[in-house]
Structures are given as C-alpha cells and as structure tokens.
C-alpha cells in the first residue's frame, strides 16, 4: 500500500523578482518569473506554452482552451478557471488557493506535487488523470469525475465528495479522513487500501452491500 506523502511546495522566485507580463500570451512560448493579474491578453487559446516560477493572482481564466501547456513551480491565488478546457496539461509543484475550477475539463492531466486549498472543483472532469503527491484541503468536489484516474496516496481533508465519481480510480493509500463521503460513487475495488474514519463507515456501508440498523429492545 502506498503511504500518503506531502505535496512539495512550488518554488516561485521571490515576489520582488517577479516581473509583469510583457505583452499578449503567445503559443509555443516560455514564461518564467512572471506575475499575472486580472485578464490575460491572448490567453483564451494557448498551445505548447510553459509557465515556470510564476504566480497568478485574481486572474480570470474562464472558458480558456489550453493545449499541451506545462506549469512548473506555479501558484494560483483567487483565480477563476471555471469551464476551462485543459488538454494534455502537466502540473508539477503547483498550488491553488481560494480558486474556482467549476466545470473545468482536464482529462488525462498529469499532476505531480499539486496542492489545492479551499478550491471549488464541482462538476470538473479529470478522466484518467495521473496524480502523485496530491493534497486537497477544504475543497468542493461535488459531482466531479475522476473515473479511471490514478490517485495513489492522495490526501483529502475536509472535502465535499457528494456524487463525486471515483469509479475505476486507483486510490491505494489514499487518505479521505475528515471528508463528507455521502453520495460518493465508488465500489469495494476502489476502497482497497483507503483510510477513513470510523464515523465515515456509515456513509460507505451501502457501497459494500452492508445494511446498517440499530438493534431495538
């Protein structure tokens, strides 16, 4: 069984060394040490772009279509990526706090050392995503789809998993303690090697074919 591990923090440059965006975003470009804020000119559709050691603050990225984009040592703060499409996107040492990823589509995304805090991921799609060292704290994953995803050792704390679809996902070593599991969609196979609290077993009993009743008399 894979043991949960902490996600490594990104390594952006010191705030004083970040520079503003020099112009509209362009395909096949590398942006290093840039501070992004507000609306991004040219950011609606991007292909084969790399962001390294960058910070996104209060950036509106709703409905963007990013293809083959790489994010390394990147932090998102108070950003909105609702309804965005990420096709063949890779994230390494990426953090997001107080962001909205409502309805984001990122099938097949590669995530390494990714941490999300107080982020809305409801209705997002992560089909067959490949994650390692993933941690989510106080996130809303209601009706998100992780079917067939690889999430070994993932740590989730205080997350909402109402109707979250984890069928076919690899969760060996995952830690779901402190999460609301009412209505989560998974089965005995996905629960192998998963850590939960005793109080959460009642929410999972029906998935295991167990009927829970209080003995009377």
Q: Find the mean pLDDT for residues 75-93.
A: 97
**Closest C-alpha among 148, 144, 132, 45 to residue 94:** 132
d(CA 212, CA 202): 7
Per-residue pLDDT of 96-123, as tens digits, reads 999 999 999 999 999 999 999 999 999 9
d(CA 122, CA 86): 16
Residues 6+ apart with CB under 8 A from 195: 4, 173, 174, 175, 176, 177
pLDDT at 16: 63
Q: Name the pTM for this structure.
A: 0.87
- 172 vs 199: which has the higher pLDDT: 172
- 59 vs 207: which has the higher pLDDT: 59
Residues 6+ apart with CB under 8 A from 217: none
């Amino acid at each position: 069984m894979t043991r949960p591990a902490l996600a490594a923090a990104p390594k952006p440059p010191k705030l004083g060394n970040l520079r503003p965006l020099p112009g509209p975003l362009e395909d096949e470009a590398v942006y290093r040490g840039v501070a992004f804020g507000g609306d991004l000119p040219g950011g609606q559709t991007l292909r084969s772009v790399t962001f390294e050691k960058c910070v996104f603050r209060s950036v509106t990225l709703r409905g963007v279509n990013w293809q083959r984009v790489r994010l390394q040592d990147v932090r998102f703060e108070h950003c909105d990526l609702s309804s965005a499409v990420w096709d063949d996107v890779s994230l390494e040492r990426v953090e997001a706090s107080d962001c909205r990823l409502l309805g984001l589509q990122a099938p097949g995304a590669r995530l390494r050392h990714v941490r999300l805090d107080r982020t809305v991921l409801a209705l997002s799609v992560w089909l067959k995503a490949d994650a390692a060292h993933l941690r989510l704290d106080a996130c809303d994953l209601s009706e998100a789809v992780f079917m067939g995803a690889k999430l070994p050792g993932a740590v989730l704390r205080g997350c909402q998993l109402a109707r979250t679809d984890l069928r076919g996902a690899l969760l060996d070593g995952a830690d779901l303690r402190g999460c609301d599991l009412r209505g989560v969609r998974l089965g005995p196979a996905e629960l192998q090697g998963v850590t939960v609290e005793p109080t959460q077993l009642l929410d999972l009993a029906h998935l295991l074919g167990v009927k829970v009743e209080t003995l009377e008399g």
